[in-house]
Amino acid sequence: MNRTQKLRKAMPWLYKLYLWIQRGPMHEVNLIKVACSDYWRYRKYSFRDKTSSVDLDNLTSVIIKYAHSIEKGFSMPEFRPGFGRSVLEALIVQMAKYDSQGYDHQTLAYQKAQSVLAEYISCHKAIDYDLGEFRDVLMPWVDESSGVGGYTEINGNEMLASAAGDFAACAISRRSVRNYRDKRVNMDDIRDAVRIARQTPSACNRQCWHTYIIRDPEMRANVLALQNGNRGFGHCADFVAVITADMKGFAGAGERHGTYIDGGLYAMSLMYALHYKGIGTCPLNWMVLPSVDKKLRQLLRLSPSENTIMMISGGLILDHFRVAKSARKSIDDQLTIL
């Protein structure tokens, strides 16, 4: 017989008090403790804004973010000559900061940035667009040798064939697609993708996720207006999926991240399943302030207990289109065997 059982038998009233404390005040104390812990850890290791840090990991993330913003510009339905000047200027500032700290130029982040700048100049030269003096600003930071940044031309038929192959072919061929046909996706295919994705594992098989498919043009436009990463292509999507997960399925301070873990797993499964069904997708982050989240809740009439995980734009792919290269880190950078 353990201590708790002995207490329950010898002093029932004290045992009831113990349970009340565990279920009431102690639960509140634990929630406050983990909230404070999460706050201080995030404050310590994240960075205040894109200009504030010289830490290698923070700086690398900012460089990749800016470089990828330019990559996305290459993959838009309509190429806008001279696009992204403010982003390019910010990228060069971060590259200069990186350089001044003496960091290695052979990293993927730095080479990607150099390669993206080279692609930017090359693309404008190909269409005889004069970048003027801005070209001279970019040139010192250009390196064409790595080729890890820019865009890739995709054959739609080949992509669909890979998607319908084995899992490795399906997963490797999946790309973020920002060009879509002006044709409706068959709703049965979306339903079948959800059927496949529901096999996603979840904590104790709770399956607390939900998928909202927005096809109404007005509502789709209103939803996308709240998200900061779909400009230039979101209006071309046939539908937008909003993935949520319900906090009511989780208990105690230790499960506070459960909705994001299970919801994130499900969202990736859904993108694979949509790809398998021949539907192009692009994940759209939902990293917003509570005030913006509240607007989405009101628009979709979400339950107060639902956490929005992310959005996904979707549509039928074209015969030929461009995607961002999105070069991957090496396996050794992402794998530790203990």
| pLDDT digits 0-9 by tens, 48-74 | 666 666 788 888 988 998 999 999 999
Task: Estimate to the nearest angstrom the gap between the alpha carbon of 273 and the chain centroid.
Answer: 17
Mean pLDDT score of the chain, rounded to an integer?
90
Half-sphere exposure of 257 (CA within 13 A, CB side): 7
Q: pLDDT tens digits, residue range 220-254? A: 999 999 999 999 999 999 999 999 999 988 877 78
Q: Would you say residue 17 has pLDDT above 90?
A: no
Q: Lowest mean pLDDT of 3-17, 117-131, 160-174, name the range.
A: 3-17
* Confidence at residue 49, expressed as pLDDT on a 0 to 100 scale: 67
Q: Would you say residue 216 has pLDDT above 60?
A: yes
* Confidence at residue 12, expressed as pLDDT on a 0 to 100 scale: 73
What are 130-134's contacts with CB under 8 Å, separation 24+? 131/82, 134/85, 134/88
* Cβ-proximal residues to 121 (8 Å cutoff; 6+ apart), any chain: 131, 135, 138, 139, 142
Q: Would you say residue 188 has pLDDT above 90?
A: yes
119 closest CA partner among 68, 59, 167: 68
Cβ proximity of 227 and 311 under 8 Å = yes
**What number is the average pLDDT over the span 70-94?**
94
Helix (H, G, I), strand (E, B) or coil at 316: strand
Q: Would you say residue 20 has pLDDT above 80?
A: no
Q: Would you say residue 1 has pLDDT above 70?
A: no
Residue 44 — pLDDT band, cuts 50, 70, 90?
confident
CA distance 315 to 324: 17
The DSSP secondary-structure symbol of 329 reads P
Q: Would you say residue 7 has pLDDT above 90?
A: no
